[in-house]
Homo-oligomer: A and B are copies of this chain.
Amino acid sequence: MKKTKLIDIAKIHGVSTSTVSKAINGHSDVSAATRTAILETSKKLHYVANIHAKGLRTQKSSTIGVIIPNILLSFNATILKGILDSAKEFGYRVLLSESEHYFENEKETLQKMIDSNVDGLLISINKESKNIDHIIKASEHLPVVLFDKISEKVPLTNIIVDDQQGAFNAVEHLILQGRKEIVCICGAKNSYSSEHRLNGYLEALEKYKIPINSELILESEQVTISQGELAIQRLLYKATKFDAVFGITDNVAIGAIKALQKNKISIPEKVSVIGFSDSDKATIIVPNLTSVAQPGASMGRLAVRYLIDEINNPINVRTPKTIELKTVLKIRESSFSSI
């Protein structure tokens, strides 16, 4: 059964393809009678416009491109779910590609997306991407919205989590539990979210007049379980005193828990631990990990909404805004001593 096209419907009703096209696209200059007749057979024959013909003609593809660093990062997957949901709702297809954390890959992938005639682009940029010229340039060709991993001051719409507030809440919670020597396991220096989470940490210390101890601020290039474990191991080896750990990701926090447990340091009695992102693992590990929950699916949905806005209001004065989504602190055993 071949696909129905305009000409098939036109022949049936003895009209021209342009009339059929107009009827289907809801133009006003078609009589009610022919319109309903056409729409009826169009439905009956499951007519769907050929996307290539339509795309060629209209320069639109009803497709958005999504570039994420790594689908295996569960937060990436959660955002993607929101994107898929919302895109489907708005009638957009989703073309997906990974940048795999390599700058060159991101650049190439970006170009391929543009070559694919997508109507707009959703990008979570690479931590390597200090240079974002390629993104700026892309945004001159088509609407681009950044999410999750964004860049400093790029003139684009950004959807992110309020990292600083999330970190502040977490650290404040630790302080209110009586903790004063709080370790912060940070990530790479040039990462937007790492930087802002560190700021939240510092803000909380400041608010409660707790002196900053640089020995407690650890930097870990890779924010993995093993790196988190290593970071705390080192601290223990140096016999640095601390009574809490704020991990910039759940993984480093879990690594911290492992290190503490290996050294028989009880959690949360001796040391409280908090992570960031509230992944599945948070409720698997014992003790369950207190963590800052990020609204990933909402982020994805919002990103699509803003992108489609830009697609529909084209050359329009782009008013790049940065949307910050609020986080929620999920308090669990790793930070809550009922003492």
Contact = CB atoms under 8 A, between A and B. Distances in A.
A280 interface: yes
22 contacts: A50-B56, A51-B116, A51-B117, A52-B55, A63-B95, A71-B84, A72-B78, A74-B74, A77-B77, A81-B98, A84-B96, A84-B97, A84-B98, A88-B97, A93-B95, A93-B112, A95-B95, A96-B96, A280-B281, A281-B284, A284-B284, A284-B285
A315 to B, nearest CB: 15
B96 A254 contact: no
Interface in A44-83: 48, 50-53, 55-56, 61, 63, 70-72, 74, 77-78, 80-81
Given A71-B71, A285-B286, 6 more contacts: A71-B84, A72-B74, A72-B81, A94-B95, A96-B96, A284-B284
A84 B112 CA distance: 14
Contacts of A53: 52, 56
Nearest to A109: B88
B88 A81 contact: no
A115 interface: yes
Contacts of A115: 48, 51
Interface in A12-63: 48, 50-53, 55-56, 61, 63
A286 to B, nearest CB: 6
A69 to B, nearest CB: 12
Nearest to A53: B56
A117 B63 CA distance: 13
A326 to B, nearest CB: 22
Nearest to A280: B281
A50 B60 CA distance: 12
Interface string A280-292: 1100111000000
A292 to B, nearest CB: 18
Interface in A80-121: 80-81, 84, 88, 93-98, 112, 115-117
A281 B74 CA distance: 12
Contacts of A63: 95
A112 B94 CA distance: 12
A289 to B, nearest CB: 10
A60 to B, nearest CB: 10
Given A50-B117, A56-B56, A254 B71 contact: no
A310 B74 CA distance: 32
Nearest to A98: B84
